[in-house]
Amino acid sequence: MGFNTALSGIKASADYLSVTGNNIANADTTGFKKSRVEFDDLYNTSVLGAGSGNSIGSGVSVSAVSQEFSAGTLSYTDNNLDLAIDGSGFFIIDGGMSDAYTRAGNFKLDEDGFLVTNNGNNVQGFNAVDGVVGGNLDDLKIPTDRIPPEPTSEMSLKVNLDSRNQDVPPFITAEFDPNNPDTYNFTQTQGVVDANGQSHIVTYYYAKGEQPNTYKIHATVDGKTTGDDGLPFLGDTYATFNNAEGGVDYNGDGIEEQPFELLYVGATPPNPIDIETAVKTPLAVNGTLNGVAITSALAPEEMRDTSIVGREAFDPLDPDTYSYGNTRTTYDSLGEPHTVGYYFIKQGEENTYELRVTLDGEESFVDPFTGDDVRYLERNTSVSFDPAGNLLGTYRGIPPLGTAQPVPLEVRGIDPTNRGSITELDIGGSTQYAIANTDTFEQDGFSSGELQGVSFDSDGFLIASYTNQQTAILGQIGLATFDSTDGLMPTGKTAWVASEGSGPANVGRPNSGTLGKIAGGALEESNVDLTAELVSLIEAQRNYQANSKTLETENTVTQTIINLR
């Protein structure tokens, strides 16, 4: 029996050496899991000897070679298709007859765009359709198609308009001086005849006030502001017009459907009631000049015919005609980029701005069906803030020219390929604080783009990036766990298959349960501790030598017995 005991020890030690050597050999193998040898002692049994406390052992056997599935260290690479699992899950690969499972995530793309292992096995996951990840496990594929263009359908603008912005142009506070053009905006002249039949020139000076399209009016006679008594020829007088820039030609036919006209004339700044009831008091010039009485009146009808504009016409190229403006890029249905501009013009009404929108530098377009000239944003659209600088809302109409009505900001025809389109401009969250004018702008359109690269996030989503700065979800990697990883059967090439001992695979998605999350651009190193394995190698060698010595000793004893005569 001593021979058998020694032989069993030698065999067990040889197995120990083989397992340790295999661990050492795979110390640099991605996803490799080290093995260990588990031993059992042997005893001979018989009916007579059963239960005896003096039984002599008959050697050792290898009861199992088990694998340790502890996690290896993560090593980061420059390859976005290298994946590692921070958890207990396994990648699922198509093993032919059945699925196999691995922790080695050094994947690549084959010629058909499928994600595969170095051995050509397809990696399993959940493919996406139009960015929606499906529920069926399949070979994970990366389509290389060009991403189609998407026209702009939503725009979001968050702007801060500096509360220190002045009216455009600034209302005039300087004392009136007919010799100083900075103290008025425009003039109008009228010829009059005095009591002696002498001709005189009356000049009316319009100085912009704090309210929109409202002016304080001064008058001179032959260049003099006061009569012989030292009093002004014209007392306090204010006028309000219906527009800031003259008449309005709605359809581009050269005829002003809304002429430039006077809405109010009076001795005090206008209020909504005055505007609504169209109060108009003639401009009355009274006084004496060189002892001769001069009296003149400019009727409201005559003021209506004026072609002089109270404010320089809005021009997106001239920053003096607006308080703040900026341009951004939008896209039509063909993916062509266009430049949308938004401009805020502070009005005399406190905390109110007129908003103008342009596309490619123009405020309007020609309707292809009616031939009418259509504004991208309705005329007289205004934005108002409360005294604390918070957005009150958007309105059609600018006080005091009428009651402003809340309206959504709808930009028409911003897609030149679809002039009937209406795109909402959301300015929620905009403010008016005493800091510099600034804005953030977002829109959902983009041009066509080519596939530029792919990567995986921690949830295992396969994300494609394109040359048009867009991204898309193409799928999600699949993972599996087992009730008992010790029951997995190794098949080589750092892969395992399920067995009765492991139970069936529990398939799921990364970052759920114990499956773990994905580390993109990383690989899991072997969990072999090389120092520990070298120590085990020495132990296996000594065990082998010791059991060999037992065999040699048994042989010597046996030979002695044979030599007895």
Q: Are 335 and 447 in contact, with CB atoms under 8 Å apart?
A: yes
485 DSSP 8-state letter: G
Length of the chain: 565
Q: What pTM value is reported for the model?
A: 0.66
Q: For each of the chain's 565 residues, which pLDDT tens digit applies?
A: 567 787 877 888 888 899 999 999 999 999 999 999 988 887 766 555 555 566 677 788 888 888 999 999 999 999 999 999 999 999 999 988 889 999 999 999 999 999 999 999 999 999 999 889 999 999 999 998 899 999 999 999 999 999 999 877 667 778 899 999 889 888 888 898 888 889 999 999 988 887 777 889 999 999 999 999 999 999 898 888 776 555 555 444 555 555 666 778 888 887 766 666 667 888 888 888 888 888 888 777 666 444 444 455 789 999 988 999 999 999 999 999 999 999 999 986 678 999 999 999 999 999 998 888 999 999 889 999 999 999 999 998 766 555 567 889 999 999 999 999 999 999 999 999 999 999 999 999 999 999 999 999 999 999 999 999 999 999 999 999 999 999 999 999 999 999 999 999 999 999 999 999 999 999 999 999 999 999 988 988 888 888 887 777 777 777 777 777 5
For 212-267, the three-class secondary structure string (H helix, E strand, C coil) is: CCEEEEEEEECCECECCCCCECCCCCEEEECCCCCCECCCCCCCCCECCCEEEEEC
181-304 CATH fold: Tick-borne Encephalitis virus Glycoprotein; domain 1 (2.60.98)
CATH 2.60.98.20 range(s) for the chain read 154-165+315-443
Q: Which amino acid is at 149?
A: P
CA 516 → CA 322, 474, 504, 525, distances in Å? 56, 20, 18, 17
Report the C-alpha gap between 399 and 382 in whole angstroms.
9
Structure tokens at 16: 């120990």
The position carrying tokens 């109409």 is 397
The position carrying tokens 């050094």 is 106
Q: Are 90 and 101 in contact, with CB atoms under 8 Å apart?
A: yes
Residue 199 has what pLDDT? 92
Structure tokens at 270: 């206008």
Report the C-alpha gap between 92 and 98 in whole angstroms.
10
Whether domain 154-165+315-443 has CATH 2.60.98.20: the reply is yes
Residue 403 has what pLDDT? 55
Strand-strand pairing, 479-481 and 506-508: antiparallel
Report the C-alpha gap between 429 and 407 in whole angstroms.
16
Report the C-alpha gap between 539 and 19 in whole angstroms.
13
Instruction: Kindly state the helix (H) or strand (E) to which residue 558 belongs, with its residue range.
Output: helix 530-562
Report the C-alpha gap between 304 and 441 in whole angstroms.
41
To the nearest 5 percent, what fractions of the chain are helix, strand and coil? 15, 40, 45
